[in-house]
Each structure stands twice: as C-alpha cells, then as structure tokens.
Amino acid sequence: MSIDRNQLTEVIGGTVYGSDGDKIGQVGQVYLDDVTDQPEWVTVQTGLFGTKETFIPIAEAQFDNGDVRVPFDKSKVKGAPNVDAEQGHLSREEEEELYRYYGLDYSRQTSDSDGADDVDTTRTAGLTDPTAGRDAASEGYDTSGPTTDDAMTVSEERLEVGTQSREAGRARLRKYVVTEQQNVTVPVSREEVRVEREPITDANVGAAMSGPDISEEEHEVVLREERPVVAKETVPVERVKLSKDTVTENVEVSEDVRKERVETDGIETDRNTGDDRR
C-alpha cells in the first residue's frame, strides 16, 4: 500500500528496498508537501557509516510491514543529487533537480507564495530516525536494520569435520562339502601252489612204504590271499575364523563455506600508510 501521513511513525527507521530487491538503507526523515501535507520524499541513510542522506520520491513507493519499496535500484538512489537534509526543507530548484534525476514530471499545485525561486516547497515532517542525532564522525551505527552497536561484526563459516561409523559391508565364512577321488597304493599278498617232487631216499622210504601198495588218493592245500579294505575316518585338519583389522587412511573432504567481507564506500586509502581514511 502507498504511504500516507498516518504512517509516518512507522515509516521512520524502516528499511528501504530497491526495485531489484536489494536493501538500500534506512529511512531517516520524511518530507511533506506544503500544499497537500502528504508525504512526498524520504531520506535514506547511505554510505559506509550512514553519514549521507539521499532523497527518494515516494509517490509510487509501497509500504509493507515496516519495509518501504521504491521503483528505483540502489545505484540510482546512491547517485542522486546531493541535497542537505539538515536544512529541514527543499527549495523549488532542489525539488526540480531531484524530479529530473528520477525521471519524473515536476507538476504540482501552487500555493499563494509560489513564484519566488527561494520559496520552500516541501518540509520535513519533524520526525527522524532515533539514530540521527549520533555523531557520525566518531561513532557508526546500523543503517540496514534495528540499531545495534557502533561496530560491525564480521563472521565466517568454518568446517567442523568428524567421523561417523556406518556399515560398509559384510564378510562371511561358508563351509561346504566336495567329493574327490584319491588313489592309494596298498601292497597285498596271495598264496600260490607249487608242486614239489623229491626222490625216495633212506630218509623218506619209511613214509613212502607206509601206505597201500596201489591206491587212489587226493591231497589239497588251502590258498589264501589279501584284498584291500578301505575304511574312512573324519579327522580335523585346521581351524578357520574371521577377524577384523582397523586400517586408518586420510580422506579429503570438500565443502563450500561462506565468509563475510567488509567493503568501504566513501573512504580513501592513505597511500603512505595503507590506512582507510574519510
């Protein structure tokens, strides 16, 4: 919604955003039209320490939850003509110059006092940002949001790297049975028959004559032999188990981290000392 006179206390100190969404600065003062008594300009504190106040027309500005959104980008606002905001009013020449810079038509109702070049056309509403009374030469303050302290904190992200244990895999031992053929050489013995003949001598004549003179007889001998016999027994041959070893190695971790940097605006560097000076 557009800005009206009833919202002045809410607008003062609010944050101004440009058409590109970038934060421009903080509202310092509101200037009212002498004829309509409605808000026409706001000043925005810019520069590194918020020491410069730049005028922005708010005819097409929108006010929402403490934020003022204007149809100009940050670079356009920062390049606006330098008008002293401490004087409490804008002259016709100053207002015409500002309107030309922002590409707006300078058309307005004339008051009874119009016609003279030095007649004031807009005036401050008398309300200012609570930080406006600070000594900008010796103390800085926050121009982009609620007032904090006189210094800017610069932060950065740092990696905190640790380790986390997780399951990487599993190893198993599995026992199974295979059948293979073994060849073993075993010595075996057997008996074979052999016929022995001996002549009749004085030593065996008695045995030879002991039987009948003529008869039929049969003699036999038992022959024996060995055959391989196979028996199997189960015997333990070794013990197998799983053990774990811990191996440590270095792993490189990459991650993006954000760091805040400070850039200066409106500060010149002393070439002899390298110090930043206003």
H-only helix segments in the chain:
8-11, 74-78, 92-101, 205-208
- 168 in a domain, yes or no? no
**pLDDT given at position 241:** 93
- Please check the confidence at residue 151 and state whether its pLDDT lies above 90: no
**pLDDT given at position 148:** 54
- 21 in a domain, yes or no? yes
**pLDDT given at position 109:** 40
- 246 in a domain, yes or no? no
Structural domain boundaries, residue 72: 5-152
**pLDDT given at position 185:** 94
- 247 in a domain, yes or no? no
- Please check the confidence at residue 122 and state whether its pLDDT lies above 80: no
Number of structural domains in the chain: 1
- 196 in a domain, yes or no? no
- 132 in a domain, yes or no? yes
Higher pLDDT, 243 or 144: 243
Of 46-55, 103-112, 156-165, where does the model show the most confidence?
Answer: 156-165
- Please check the confidence at residue 130 and state whether its pLDDT lies above 70: no
Count the alpha carbons within 13 Å of 36 in the hemisphere toward its beta carbon: 12
- 81 in a domain, yes or no? yes
Q: Are strands 52-57 and 62-64 parallel, antiparallel or unpaired?
A: unpaired
| CATH number of the domain within which 113 lies | 3.90.50.10
- 180 in a domain, yes or no? no
Of 27-41, 97-111, 114-128, 244-258, where does the model show the most confidence?
Answer: 244-258
User: pTM value?
Assistant: 0.43
Burial class (CB in 10 A: 0-12, 13-18, 19+), 73: middle
- Please check the confidence at residue 75 and state whether its pLDDT lies above 80: yes
Of 84-93, 104-113, 244-253, 258-267, where does the model show the most confidence?
Answer: 244-253
- Please check the confidence at residue 209 and state whether its pLDDT lies above 50: yes
Residue 180, classed as helix, strand or coil, is: coil
**pLDDT given at position 247:** 92
